[in-house]
Amino acid sequence: MPATPPTDFPDAPDATRRTRGRPRKTLDERDDGNRRQALLQAAAHLFRQQGFAGTSTRDIAAAAGMQAGSPFYHFENKQALLAGVMLEGMQRAVEHQRQALAQADAAGQVDARQRLRVLVRAHFDVLLGPQSDFVPVMLYEWRSLSAGQRAEVNRLRSAYEAAWLPVLQALHASGALRGDPGLARLLIFGALNWSAQWFDARGRATLDELTDTALTLFLRDAV
């Protein structure tokens, strides 16, 4: 696969048609009625279900209740829409994690074990909870981004992951975590992220039960 995938939409109108047709909207006009968010939500769902290569912009526009050319007012091409989905997913993840930790602080949950549980549970929310298509798309369509787009998403991912290392270091210092905290973080994310492949919300485990089970795997005497 090339380092920078082709950026043309397979169903894009040509430059001449765009020039002679309706002018591009201003930023305020583009966000009227949350149309951009509707496109991102539809794209995230279809990219997750059908894959990036298997999804056309016509599919996305139809799922969002828009005309086939509407995505071009918001995103330059399909690859830019994919990057938008991943950035939206990481922004949501960062904010959800921030709120979860703030609530834990307010409740006096400052113990490292408690904070790891908060982090794991919040991570399951963004992977498996309502409207959770965004981050799984990032996990499985990463190579479809350009190097510049990956760098932009990585800045948010680094901010998200930064909250984990101090907690794991504290657990290691207490003896609750035996392995190296840096390696443990990578292994924990690998295990948690794989749940997007097999978890069924209609199954026997809730996200709370999934969190409790995960902690028994990562920590000594976790429960």
Looking at the predicted structure, is the pLDDT value of residue 116 above 60? yes
User: Does 188 share its domain with 122?
Assistant: yes
Q: What value does the mean pLDDT take over residues 123-136?
A: 93
Mean pLDDT, the chain, integer: 85
If residue 157 lies in a helix (H) or strand (E), which one and from where to where? helix 147-162
pLDDT grade for 158, boundaries at 50, 70 and 90 = very high
Q: What digits encode the pLDDT tens for the residues 17-58?
A: 343 444 555 544 445 547 889 999 999 999 999 999 999 999
CATH number at residue 31: 1.10.10
User: Does 90 share its domain with 109?
Assistant: yes
Is 10 a domain residue? no
Which of 24, 58, 75 is the endpoint of a domain? 75
User: Does 69 share its domain with 91?
Assistant: no
Is 212 a domain residue? yes
Q: What value does the mean pLDDT take over residues 102-120?
A: 94
User: Does 86 share its domain with 105?
Assistant: yes
pLDDT of residue 7: 36
Is 5 a domain residue? no
Q: What value does the mean pLDDT take over residues 57-74?
A: 88
Range of the domain at 97: 80-218
| Tokens coding 42 | 């539809």
| Closest by Cα among 42, 73, 65 to 55 | 42
pLDDT of residue 20: 43
Three-state DSSP string of 170-219: HHHHHCCCCCCHHHHHHHHHHHHHHHHHHCCCCCCCCHHHHHHHHHHHHC
User: Does 189 share its domain with 116?
Assistant: yes
User: Does 93 share its domain with 36?
Assistant: no
User: Does 61 share its domain with 87?
Assistant: no
pTM of the model: 0.80
Task: Give the total number of structural domains in the chain.
Answer: 2
Looking at the predicted structure, is the pLDDT value of residue 78 above 60? yes
User: Does 121 share its domain with 179?
Assistant: yes
User: Does 196 share its domain with 95?
Assistant: yes
